[in-house]
A and B are shown apart, each in its own frame.
Chain A
Amino acid sequence: MSHDGDRGRKGSAVLPLRRRDFVSDQEVRWCPGCGDYSILAQTQKMLPELNIPRENFVFVSGIGCSSRFPYYVNTYGFHGIHGRAPTLATGVKASRPELSVWVITGDGDALSIGGNHFMHAVRRNLDINIILFNNRIYGLTKGQYSPTSEFGKKTKSTPAGSIDYPINPLCIAISNEATFVARSIDVDVKHLSSVLTQAAHHKGVSFVEVFQNCNIFNDGAFKHFSERGVRDDRTIRLEDGQPLVFGRDRDKGIRLNGLKLEVVDLGRGSSETDLLIHDIHDPEPNLANLLARMNYPDFPVPLGVFRSVAKPTYDELMEAQVQDAISRSGAGDLERLLNSGDVWVVN
């Protein structure tokens, strides 16, 4: 246990907090070079900025490399079982809405074994933050394909190539009407930090997919669009209220043509006014879904916030029902409850 005895009360950290307040005493055991380090660092940097007492954070995870995350963050933490982190988080948040609850999960954990829970946590709009580390591979079990692995992927369990069509995590979240949906990438720490902060501030479920490189079993999974030399042309940064422009020379854009998106070259008969204006507050999820489906090479890979809408949260609605019952019937009286119904007396 890490106790910062030099700050405030013995063992407790007082506001304002610093990054090191969120570093636990446990040795981080991810492989050297793993993208998880970057996500951990950005999270630990972001947490103090939220101005929430450290003891009010709970990090919950399932199983997989990413799910070791809570051990390394000096908050309350619960390393759960495979796929079930959203269920544990639901219990924590629904019973204690005042806590800041974070689910750390991976592509196998959230989308394969835990797909059901992921879907339901999202559609209930529980006020939790779900960070999905997507490395498109099973790391902890040493290199089998995952539900986000590309079709045809050759792995130990698919020597002739995977015949599974991959899941797009953003589309799952959007189709379940997640109220906050974003994507970032481990190598762009500034972007990652900004997205995590926005997720933290969103009231309701926040879903963030982070492209995360597994340098042991799936090295370079994202480099074809994320490397410095190509990333401006092969990715697009979603900015709320801005036209969808990309390219090193900002000479390309995304236009809506009927029910489809298309890439246009600016200046060749098209101008910015023809482009789609990104609106994260659009209550309809349809455009967000179209954007989420964009993929290289036909489209640039979108990064940023897809959707951020307001909706009452499950935990506050549940709490409201309790408070409503109390104001209507008075606080529960056990003696009265036991004596309810048809009661008779034997003398």
Chain B
Amino acid sequence: MPAITTAKGHKSPRALVEIENATIRFAGDSGDGMQLTGTQFTNTSAIFGNDISTLPDFPAEIRAPAGSLPGVSGFQISFSSRDIRTPGDQPNVLVAMNPAALRVHLSDLEPGGIVIANSNSFLPLNLKKAGYKSNPLEDGSLSGYRLIAVPLTELNGKALQELNLHRRDADRCKNFFALGITYWLYDRPLEPTLSWIEAKFKMRPQILAANTLALRSGYNYADTTELFTTHYRVRTANLAPGKYRNITGNEATAFGFIAASQKLARPLFYSSYPITPASDILHELARHKNFGIKTFQAEDEIAAVGAAIGASFAGHLGLTGTSGPGVALKSEAIGLAVMTELPLVIANIQRGGPSTGLPTKTEQADLLQALFGRNGECPVAVLAPSTPSSCFTMAFEAFRLATRFMTPVFFLSDGYLANGSEPWKIPSVADLPDIEVRFRTEAEGFQPYLRDEETLSRPWAIPGTPGLEHRIGGLEKQNISGNVSYNPDNHDRMVRLRAEKIARIANFIPEVEVFGKPEGKVLVVGWGSTYGAITSAVEGMQEQGHPVSSLHLQYLNPLPRNLGEVLSRFEKVLVPELNLGQLSMILRSRFLVDAVGFNRVRGLPFKISELQEAIGEML
């Protein structure tokens, strides 16, 4: 930690310590409002000017039994005056609203870290539910940490007494009391949250007053009592100049699709069946109908993809969003879109599998499903964003490629990207790539499967165009004419043409870049949401002088055309993935490299430390 400075002129007599970054985790019951509390801390820190990275971690149950271990909901945020890429390996501070939250999250806290606990909830019944035989706030078991036990419920209740609220309503504000304490602890401004409260509860003046009072009281309580001997300041980060906003992966995904629709000048048709963690994309897009977007909540996953394909046939931008189990249901229809060579984007916000798996936890185990999970030889393009911000770029890319190549494109995000957030440098619309849709309108010489020489794509001829009436379908097509054909040679040719069409996308995507020296001992290869942890781990190792580089794939099919050559420049290849080795299987078979996997499937993102350990073993 950097040198200690005491802020001059601060009314508090206690030390204000300047630190580079901090990580805080809020944990409580599902109904305690921890996600909201974390989001407020995040937005405040982002507006303050820190770099941030977040990790919401919540149960699939909406309200598991109160006080139980499965009902614990957590939100971790790392904020920094430096460029950061992950929500932090170990929190410095744990806010535990009840015993279960403490029990679930304590093991992640750094040794000597701060525990802020709501002592009012450490009652016999709650302790029993959390599996504590004695009260950890009193039995000395937290001696390795700095324990700050605060009677939060009681203090909050007293603070709100004048408002004469029902006790339940008053208690619901205690998360903002806790937030107030952490704002003081990290010297955060109250204004962003105060304005949020004002806007949110405009129509409910009593609730507005209660939340305002709770936040201020928490802050003042920390300021005036001797709870903390020091508090901390994390300076603003040196972000590149520009306009910023905080953005989650799912928001960026929705914005990327809207941007593609605007640039292509074709309306978006988003068709989806609610599923965690993809539903927020549906919610977001449904709010922006004034962009000509139509959102269709279908009766099931199959209907959702079917309607997207129908819309695509009719000339709209057909898009369906889901998670792995939904993709399993959509597979046959995706094959139909491959056969009929229609543009279609399938957004898979991956979660832990198989089957229903871990709905609210992250995983990268649907890569092979995206690549191969259909009957027949059924190639599609596969893209994967690497950060919440890059969800925007890759969503845009998905439609650029889908329309240019008349093909389904997978967009493989995951729960970590979807719900995680970071500051996003807002792009200027003028800087977005110019892309266009060219419908076939000329009847002369029209054939449904006539192919573009460069891309091998067929014409997009939409209903309503005179003279281009034609029929497509799932039966094998005669090349060029598009008539049904069972001819053996034609089938062989069409299978190869469909594969070649996807392979040619490699000429329309960027080459992969190496982070670090272009050759050396170890190359760490990642894809998708592991970018932050891998890059930070490799950067740390490089600073220590180790011969390690990394590269990150956002295009999984086809792979960047220079990938094989880059791999060959390194002695060893390490492939960390949140699965049992799916990309490494592809790399081994495609390039005959001895790729070594580092695999974790714990429903959580990688820690920088565990990656550095794995890299260390390769050196």
Contacts and interface: CB of A to CB of B under 8 A. Distances in A.
Interface centre among A54, A70, A318, A332, by most B CB within 10 Å?
Answer: A332
Contacts of A3: 443, 467
Interface centre among B293, B311, B333, B446, by most A CB within 10 Å?
Answer: B311
Contacts of A339: 243, 245, 426
A9 B466 CA distance: 9
Contacts of B306: 80, 84, 86-88, 90-91, 117
Contacts of A111: none
A80 B333 CA distance: 9
Contacts of B289: 321-322, 324-326
Contacts of B318: 91
Interface stretch (A93-101, A183-191, A205-213, A234-242): A93-101
B220 interface: no
Interface in B276-330: 288-294, 296, 298-300, 302-316, 318
A309 to B, nearest CB: 22
Nearest to B288: A332
A1 B446 contact: yes
B333 A81 contact: yes
A11 B312 contact: no
A259 interface: no
Interface in B457-509: 463-475, 481, 483-484
Interface string A313-327: 000001001101110
Interface string B204-222: 0000000000000000000
B243 A78 contact: no
Given A94-B296, A95-B316, A74 B469 contact: yes
A95 B267 contact: yes
Contact of B466 (A11, A92, A119): A11
Contacts of A84: 302-303, 306, 333
A60 interface: yes
A56 B463 contact: yes
Interface centre among A70, A74, A338, by most B CB within 10 Å?
Answer: A338
B290 A76 contact: no
A89 interface: yes
A337 interface: yes
Nearest to B463: A76
B246 A341 contact: yes
Contacts of B267: 95
Given A90-B310, A98-B464, A99-B464, A70 B473 contact: yes
Interface stretch (B254-262, B378-386, B524-532, B590-598): B254-262
B309 A88 contact: yes
B401 to A, nearest CB: 20
A9 B468 CA distance: 12
Given A95-B314, A98-B464, A334 B259 contact: yes
B192 A342 contact: yes
B332 interface: yes
A160 interface: no
A148 to B, nearest CB: 22
A76 B243 contact: no
Contacts of B258: 332, 334, 337
A98 B465 CA distance: 13
A269 interface: no
A12 B467 contact: yes
B1 interface: no
Interface string B237-250: 00111111110000
B47 interface: yes
B99 to A, nearest CB: 35
Contacts of B428: 335
B434 to A, nearest CB: 14
A75 interface: yes
Contact of A78 (B255, B290, B466, B471): B471
Contacts of B469: 1, 54-55, 57, 74-77
B427 interface: yes
B336 interface: yes
Nearest to B474: A81
B464 A346 contact: no
Interface centre among B240, B309, B483, by most A CB within 10 Å?
Answer: B309
Contacts of A80: 306, 336, 473-474
Contacts of A341: 245-246
Interface residues of A, number: 70
A330 B290 contact: yes
B444 interface: yes
Nearest to B483: A26
Given A322-B294, A325-B290, A334-B259, A95 B269 contact: yes
Contacts of A63: 474
A102 to B, nearest CB: 12
A13 B465 CA distance: 11
A196 interface: no
B390 interface: no
A3 B246 CA distance: 56
Contact of A91 (B307, B444, B464, B474): B307
B429 interface: yes
A335 B427 CA distance: 9
B46 interface: yes
B310 A88 contact: yes
Contact of B307 (A87, A328, A345): A87
A120 interface: yes
Interface string A256-287: 00000000000000000000000000000000
A307 B224 CA distance: 75
A81 B291 CA distance: 31
B43 interface: yes
A290 B450 CA distance: 53
Nearest to B259: A334
A295 interface: no
Contact of B427 (A11, A13, A330, A338): A338
Contacts of B299: 116-117, 119-120
Contacts of A74: 469
Given A55-B468, A87-B298, A87-B302, A79 B474 contact: yes
Nearest to A87: B306
A54 to B, nearest CB: 6
Contact of B293 (A11, A70, A322, A328): A322
Contact of A346 (B244, B271, B468, B471): B244
Given A74-B469, A78-B473, A346 B245 contact: no
A92 B314 contact: yes
Given A341-B246, A343-B426, A346-B244, A11 B446 contact: yes
Contact of B255 (A76, A99, A337, A343): A337
Contacts of B446: 1, 11
Given A10-B444, A90-B296, A95-B267, A347 B241 contact: yes
A95 B268 CA distance: 9
B455 interface: no
A81 B288 contact: no
Interface of B: 43, 46-47, 49, 192, 239-246, 255, 258-259, 262, 267, 269, 271, 288-294, 296, 298-300, 302-316, 318, 332-333, 335-336, 340, 426-429, 443-444, 446-448, 463-475, 481, 483-484
Interface of A: 1, 3, 9-13, 24, 26, 53-58, 60-61, 63, 70-71, 74-81, 84, 86-96, 98-99, 116-117, 119-120, 318, 321-322, 324-326, 328-332, 334-335, 337-347
Ranked nearest first, the 7 interchain pairs of A and B with the lowest CB-CB distance are A91-B310, A87-B306, A79-B473, A332-B291, A11-B467, A11-B443, A12-B466
Given A11-B467, A84-B302, A334-B429, 18 more contacts: A1-B447, A9-B467, A10-B467, A11-B468, A26-B471, A56-B463, A58-B463, A77-B471, A84-B306, A91-B318, A95-B310, A99-B464, A120-B298, A329-B290, A332-B258, A337-B291, A338-B427, A345-B244
19 contacts: A1-B469, A10-B444, A55-B465, A55-B467, A55-B468, A78-B340, A79-B473, A80-B474, A87-B303, A91-B306, A92-B313, A95-B269, A96-B464, A322-B290, A332-B262, A337-B288, A344-B243, A346-B241, A347-B241
